[in-house]
Chain A
């Protein structure tokens, strides 16, 4: 099989398309690159969706944690504490155990029809179950970052907003929220990088792989087992992730520039990579 044929056969193997059986003997470098790249699609899927959904929950949680009302504040504090305070490893395990138990617990609700039954079954699959865990996890971490930023929104900004007659939702949308994002962005970029790295844990310890459809690390360990040589597949995963990290940094950098576009040049520099020397 030529390399191009391999790409055609395995490029979307991680989603169950193309060749059904994985390569077994005489494994070529091309096959490793293609399949591990195919697995990266899952890492992208988990990372992008969890970040996108987590962004909104995180904003809500940060506001709740900042609220005066203890009924809002306490649950948000606990949620953030539990998800930030325990290893993702354990969160995956407990979530999987809980999801597996669901249909049994929900037997009496079967009356609602097949649909309910089907939805609980999906929870034990990585594409939904692991996504939920990652979503909650990144929400908690991002919420803490946003909360810290919210606390450091300059008093003057708020006073100026009041003076202009802005209040309530309008004030939040136009003044508080953009400033909060601007302050939180560098730390949030790091969180995004960490989250993409965390997606490698999904199949490694959390959820079972279905029909040999897994992420980059799943295929890497498959190849490491078949070729008995860990020095090719794992560095390949590392290489893919370095590229992914660079892309994340670039995209988040673009957003950062947009968030800071109104600031005077000198202050803008504070949020950029500063290679100049202090002396």
Chain B
């Protein structure tokens, strides 16, 4: 980073620290914050859509679909996320390759499972083994996002299902009285009103999602906790910047980061609640109307 960092062994004090904190690994550490934020930003809407689909399935009049929705929410909610992550990603990866194998290599004679090995034809590998590293990373990240979304989608489905039931019945009856079809009632009346009831549960879920990010490492994404552990561990003189066990400082820094992040989220969600309450048939909405009048 700085020109005087060429020989770290000669540096001392602040100069050493400034070089240490700007070396390559630390840059990766800082980038991992961005990675985590980006993954969160992608995962949240995906999980929300899974939750929405789950809730819609649970409400379905077609029994098998309703069962499917309920089993999905009940099962995934019952399993600790960490145990789920430890086998699901490999299962997902193998599942995808198995499907591609059957689609792309019908002539392949050898069995896919040979003892502990899982062998598909080279064309079915995801991504291709010749693909640049970046594609492998993107593929891993997508699997991680999908897995996170499945877990948190189950919780979201539970919240959204409850919220849909909480919308006052009269609202829906009125819609029918105006001649709206089931479909119209659902999309024009139920869904817009549901959010305000779902928001407390969903914001709670968002907080839990933030705090689950340290588990990203289990899914093959090098997240901030991975780097904090890696950088904080004592370094012998093989490294350019040897130091004793500093994990405590790194983890304290992470603590501050997470506290700040949840605080900011709390403030943002409070604002959103106020905004969504406008014109709603709830106590908060009523209070706003009175204040304006």
A interface, CB within 8 angstroms of B: 81-82, 84-90, 93-94, 97, 193-194, 196-198, 200-201, 204, 217, 220-221, 224, 228-231, 234-235, 237-238, 241-242, 244-246, 274, 277-279
Contacts and interface: CB of A to CB of B under 8 A. Distances in A.
Contacts of A97: 247-248, 251
B278 interface: no
Among B80, B116, B208, max chain A CB count under 10 A is at B80
Interface in B175-192: 176, 182, 185, 190
Contact of B116 (A82, A87, A228, A274): A228
Among A234, A242, A245, max chain B CB count under 10 A is at A234
Given A242-B78, A277-B59, A229 B116 contact: yes
Contacts of B263: 81, 85
A204 B213 CA distance: 15
A86 to B, nearest CB: 5
B78 A235 contact: no
Contacts of B212: 87
A238 B151 CA distance: 13
Contacts of A221: 86
Nearest to A231: B87
Given A97-B248, A237-B80, 16 more contacts: A84-B207, A84-B262, A85-B207, A85-B263, A86-B259, A86-B262, A88-B211, A94-B252, A194-B208, A196-B80, A197-B80, A231-B91, A237-B79, A238-B80, A279-B172, A279-B182
B78 A220 contact: no
B164 interface: yes
Contacts of B82: 197, 200-201, 204, 217
B214 interface: yes
B214 A224 contact: no
B79 A241 contact: yes
Contacts of A193: 77-78
A87 B172 contact: no
A204 B208 CA distance: 19
A239 B258 CA distance: 32
Contacts of B251: 90, 93-94, 97
Contacts of A277: 59, 61
15 contacts: A81-B263, A85-B263, A87-B214, A87-B225, A90-B214, A94-B248, A97-B251, A200-B83, A217-B83, A220-B83, A220-B86, A221-B86, A238-B84, A241-B79, A274-B165
Interface residues of B, number: 43
A69 to B, nearest CB: 23
B231 to A, nearest CB: 14
5 closest residue pairs by CB, A with B: A197-B80, A245-B78, A242-B78, A234-B87, A85-B262
A194 B211 CA distance: 13
A90 B254 contact: yes
Contacts of A279: 172, 176, 182, 185
A94 B83 contact: no
Given A89-B225, A238-B79, A242-B75, A278 B165 contact: yes
A132 B225 CA distance: 22
Nearest to B212: A87
B91 A81 contact: no
B219 to A, nearest CB: 13
A167 B259 CA distance: 39
B86 A234 contact: yes
A244 B79 CA distance: 9
Nearest to A238: B79
B90 interface: yes
Given A86-B211, A279-B176, A200 B90 contact: no
A14 B92 CA distance: 32
A244 B225 CA distance: 29
Contacts of A229: 116
Interface in B35-83: 59, 61, 75, 77-83
Contacts of B254: 90
Nearest to B171: A278
B255 interface: yes
Contact of B225 (A90, A197, A234, A235): A90
Contacts of B86: 220-221, 224, 230, 234
Contacts of B167: 278
Nearest to B88: A234
Interface in B68-119: 75, 77-84, 86-87, 90-91, 116
A93 B84 contact: no
B213 A234 contact: no
Contacts of A224: 86
B83 A245 contact: no
Among A89, A193, A204, A241, max chain B CB count under 10 A is at A89
B169 interface: yes
A179 B81 CA distance: 33
Contact of A230 (B79, B87, B176): B87
B213 A87 contact: yes
B192 to A, nearest CB: 15
Contacts of B214: 87, 89-90
Among A85, A224, A246, A274, max chain B CB count under 10 A is at A85
